[in-house]
């Protein structure tokens, strides 16, 4: 963490996205992208969500709301969810965040809501595009 300028983390302090991105990139280089999936899962299990969100399907449909609840100064259209059919969603991330971190977030939300969803990366560019089968 010293390589990205984080020698003493303060839990309530705001850290710019550029530092976070640099940290995730360094971490991925050193130990591989699977650690980012695990971090994403852990984040999803612990992020505060609106109390009206009670299913994974609702969470997919409101990803942008949770993003803005938990992320300062992020783009308005960071997450876009499209329902393809009753059991399939496409999630597009338009935010400079590692694809494997987003994959972990989606898998973590599925786990949080006890959903056996299958989540795959369709396109890794720009944070990723994902296909979710419920």
Q: Is 5 within the bounds of a domain? A: no
Range of the domain at 22: 15-133
| Residue 10 belongs to a domain | no
* Helices 34-46/99-112 angle, 10° precision: 40
Tell whether 1 is covered by a domain: no
36, 54, 58, 59, 79 from 51: Cα distances, Å: 27, 7, 11, 11, 20
Is there a domain that residue 39 lies in? Answer: yes
Per-residue pLDDT tens for 5-22? 556 777 777 777 777 888
Bridging pattern class, strands 88-93 and 118-123: unpaired
Question: Based on the number of CB atoms within 10 Å of its own CB, is 22 exposed (0-12), middle (13-18) or buried (19 or more)?
Answer: middle
Is residue 23 domain-resident? Answer: yes
Give the H/E segment covering residue 129.
strand 129-133
Whole-model pTM above 0.85? yes
Phi/psi of residue 33, nearest 5 degrees: -70, -20
Confidence (pLDDT) at 49: 87
Instruction: Report if residue 2 sits inside a domain.
Output: no
Residue 103 has pLDDT above 80, yes or no: yes
The mean pLDDT value for 72-91 works out to 90
pLDDT over 70, % of the chain: 95
Q: Does residue 6 fall inside a structural domain? A: no
User: Does residue 7 form part of some domain?
Assistant: no
Calpha distance 7→10 (Å, rounded):
10
Count of domains forming the chain:
1
User: Per residue in 52-72, pLDDT tens?
Assistant: 999 999 999 999 888 877 777
**CATH code where residue 61 lies:** 3.90.1520.10
């Amino acid at each position: 963490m010293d390589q990205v300028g984080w020698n003493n983390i303060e839990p309530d302090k705001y850290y710019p996205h550029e530092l976070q991105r640099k940290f995730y990139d360094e971490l991925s280089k050193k130990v591989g992208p699977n650690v980012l999936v695990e971090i994403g899962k852990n984040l999803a299990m612990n992020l505060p969500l609106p109390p009206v969100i009670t299913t994974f399907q609702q969470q997919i449909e409101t990803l942008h709301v949770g993003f803005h609840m938990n992320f300062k100064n992020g783009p308005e259209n960071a997450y876009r969810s499209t329902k393809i059919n009753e059991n399939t969603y496409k999630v597009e991330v338009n935010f400079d965040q590692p694809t494997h971190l987003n994959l972990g977030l989606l898998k973590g939300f599925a786990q949080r809501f006890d959903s056996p969803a299958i989540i795959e990366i369709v396109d890794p560019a720009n944070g990723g595009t994902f296909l979710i089968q419920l």
